[in-house]
């Protein structure tokens, strides 16, 4: 495994405060299925959906044949029709999608969200912040595992918090925390 480090999370505890051993939850994790994340969720009754869209990046509209970004995301995000996510772990996905791709991604995901769905994401406080090349897992309620990606995803296109908030149609930022490296950790709520 690439070098493993940890990062404190002030918002992860808020994301999971609703979880208990009795209530079943459905979780979307954008990225690889890491052992510590699977181990973390083993204490809960849940359905985990791991979808690693990063190898498919960038998602752009194709002219020949005419393939929309939404069609590309439909191929990547295949869930049973009754799937409704309680928690979405987007991590840093939105930093690698342009505005049209975020809109397309959320249009495909929207039928699988419900009012009150919670999400976690990273953004940048300053668009000039250097690109982070990590993928994330959950060590425990207050700590993330961080690994370096072997291959850097293409399409790095960070959005300011205001731009991203406008693009996250249907989600509102419940809380955000400025991290020392000029990134933002955000807790999102589907309204």
Residue 16 pLDDT: 85
| Three-class SS state of 81 | coil
Could you give the CA distance from residue 180 to residue 35 in angstroms, rounded to a whole number?
27
Closest among 109, 105, 158 to 129, alpha carbons compared: 158
CA distances in angstroms from 90 to 8, 18, 64, 98, 126, listed in the order given: 17, 19, 30, 15, 19
Average pLDDT, the chain: 89
DSSP secondary structure, 32-56, as one string: ---HHHHHHHTTS-EEEEEE--GGG
Q: What is the mean pLDDT of residues 47-74?
A: 83
User: Which tens digits make up the pLDDT trace of 123-178?
Assistant: 998 777 778 888 899 999 999 999 988 888 888 889 988 899 999 989 999 999 99
User: In order of start, what are the domains of the chain with their CATH numbers?
Assistant: 4-190 (3.40.50.150)
State the virtual CA torsion across 45, 109, 145, 17 in degrees, nearest 10. -50
pLDDT at 69 over 60: yes
User: Which tens digits make up the pLDDT trace of 85-123?
Assistant: 999 999 999 999 999 999 999 999 999 999 999 999 999
- Answer whether 0.85 is exceeded by the pTM: yes
């Amino acid at each position: 495994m690439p070098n493993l480090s940890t990062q404190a999370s002030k918002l992860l505890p808020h994301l999971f405060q609703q979880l208990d051993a009795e209530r079943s939850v459905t979780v979307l994790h954008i990225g690889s299925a890491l052992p510590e994340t699977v181990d973390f969720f083993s204490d809960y009754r849940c359905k985990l959906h791991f979808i690693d869209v990063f190898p498919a990046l960038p998602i752009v509209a194709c002219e020949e044949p005419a393939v929309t970004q939404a069609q590309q995301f439909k191929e990547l995000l295949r869930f049973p029709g009754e799937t409704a996510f309680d928690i979405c772990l987007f991590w840093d996905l939105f930093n690698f999608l342009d505005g049209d791709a975020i809109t397309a991604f959320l249009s495909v995901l929207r039928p699988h969200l419900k009012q009150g769905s919670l999400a976690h994401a990273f953004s940048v406080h300053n668009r000039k912040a250097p690109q982070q090349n990590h993928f994330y897992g959950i060590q425990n309620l207050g700590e993330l595992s961080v690994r370096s990606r072997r291959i850097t995803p293409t399409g790095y296109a960070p959005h300011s918090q205001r731009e991203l908030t406008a693009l996250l149609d249907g989600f509102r930022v419940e809380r955000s925390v400025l991290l020392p490296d000029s990134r933002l950790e955000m807790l999102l709520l589907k309204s």
